[in-house]
């Protein structure tokens, strides 16, 4: 089951590919040297993995039911909530999985959608949570789109029953690919913290941290991230990560560098774009790839933002129009009175025509000359 439109995804080729290879080799090498010097300079502050226990991510059982599905030989883990026969909402989380999706903020959205009758499926991307990992090619855009579209069909999504797709970060990038290649499976889409894939080089994920070309190298970037390069960030969300935790995320990023969406191809489904206030221009540029879009800017476009639930629910939950009373239901007594008056006037005119009248002004008969 391949991509719906094989012409939508275009691989980087020709001189552009040659230039990209040289940049990844030489700029990546220079970035590798800078990283090595920095790590040596801060050697006494490096994180020792053996002294830190890894954080196992768990999901409160009250949020939903843990399920597994095997698609194209790959095992995926997801949490489902809401009625089985409800309209499907597919949530694609970020990679690596840092647990934000199951924090105190986002579950309120899942519960609200479930109460409204939606069947919510929160999927672990490959290499995150309980889903299997994959090599670089396994997570390239064509293969990822093929697997995700097959998974959606296995869960009951079809052209007659399209799904709502919500994507965060890397999951948002995959949502873009899905919408372009399999738009007939999507009725609405909300993308949080992910620009259009064609803007990949303008604003890469934060964990690339100025080393985007170095990320294309094998193995070393995973070790670099696991050694705690980002542990001094604002929230320390990657403090206890391991090299294997980064493989899935980096392989998605590595593949995205070599694929583009065909110029001029537009997403037909309505799209909600939630981006950071500091990157408003790039969010607007992403909206140019949509036929219908809404833009909302927040301080922190991820599941922890307190403004996000209201924004997403307002976009997804359709508000019923107020029922207006029909004119005949306004007042039956007034209607009966009106009909009675018309009937009385009709009887009066009929009596005058049949028996005549002394009032000549009441009946005028035209006479031809």
CA geometry: angle 295, 299, 303, nearest 5 deg: 85
For residue 167 the two structure tokens come to 């994507």
For residue 53, is pLDDT > 90? no
pLDDT in tens, 142-162: 999 999 999 999 999 999 999
What was the pLDDT predicted at 353?
53
Domain residues of the chain, as ranges?
9-316, 329-362
pLDDT in tens, 78-124: 999 999 999 999 999 998 887 788 888 999 999 999 999 999 999 99
What was the pLDDT predicted at 55?
44
Please state, in angstroms and rounded to a whole number, the distance separating the CA atoms of residues 88 and 118.
6
What was the pLDDT predicted at 212?
82
Of residues 325 and 138, the one with the higher pLDDT is 138
Strand partners, 182: none
Question: How many other CB atoms sit within 10 Å of the CB of residue 17?
Answer: 12
Nearest CA to 4 out of 150, 140, 182 is that of 182
Nearest CA to 77 out of 37, 115, 125 is that of 125
Per the confidence metrics, is the pTM higher than 0.75?
Answer: yes
Average the pLDDT over 201-215 and give the result: 77
Question: What dotted CATH number matches 9-316?
Answer: 3.40.50.1820
Contact 101, 302 (CB under 8 A): no
Predicted confidence band of residue 352 (pLDDT cuts 50, 70, 90): low
């Amino acid at each position: 089951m391949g991509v719906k439109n094989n012409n939508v995804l275009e691989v980087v080729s020709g001189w552009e590919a040659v230039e990209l290879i040289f940049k990844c080799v030489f700029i990546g090498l220079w970035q590798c040297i800078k990283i090595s010097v920095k790590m040596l300079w801060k050697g006494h502050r490096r994180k020792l993995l053996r002294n830190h226990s890894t954080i196992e991510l768990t999901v409160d059982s009250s949020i939903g039911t843990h399920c597994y599905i095997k698609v194209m030989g790959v095992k995926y883990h997801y949490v489902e909530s809401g009625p089985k026969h409800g309209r499907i909402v597919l949530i694609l989380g970020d990679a690596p999985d840092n647990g934000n999706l199951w924090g105190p903020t986002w579950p309120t959205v899942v519960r609200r959608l479930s109460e409204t009758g939606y069947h919510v499926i929160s999927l672990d991307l490959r290499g995150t949570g309980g889903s299997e990992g994959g090599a670089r090619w396994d997570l390239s855009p064509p293969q990822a789109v093929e697997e995700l579209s097959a998974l959606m069909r296995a869960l009951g999504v079809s052209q007659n029953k399209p799904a709502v797709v919500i994507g965060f970060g890397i999951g948002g990038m995959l949502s873009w690919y899905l919408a372009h290649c399999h738009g007939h499976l999507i009725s609405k889409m909300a993308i949080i913290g992910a620009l259009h894939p064609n803007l990949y080089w303008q604003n890469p994920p934060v964990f690339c941290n100025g080393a985007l070309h170095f990320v294309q190298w094998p193995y070393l970037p995973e070790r670099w991230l696991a050694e705690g390069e980002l542990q001094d960030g604002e929230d320390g969300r990657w403090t206890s990560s391991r090299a294997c935790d980064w493989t899935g995320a980096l392989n998605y990023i590595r593949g995205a560098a070599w694929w583009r969406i065909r110029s001029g191809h537009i997403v037909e489904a309505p799209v909600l774009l939630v981006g950071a206030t500091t990157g408003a221009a790039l969010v607007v540029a992403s909206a140019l790839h949509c036929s219908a879009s809404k833009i909302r800017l927040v301080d922190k476009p991820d599941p922890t933002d307190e403004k996000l639930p209201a924004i997403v629910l307002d976009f997804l939950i359709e508000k019923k129009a107020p029922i207006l009373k029909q004119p005949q239901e306004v007042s039956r007594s007034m209607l009966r009175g009106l009909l009675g008056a018309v009937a009385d006037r009709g009887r009066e005119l009929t009596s005058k025509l049949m028996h005549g009248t002394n009032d000549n002004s009441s009946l005028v008969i035209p006479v031809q000359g």
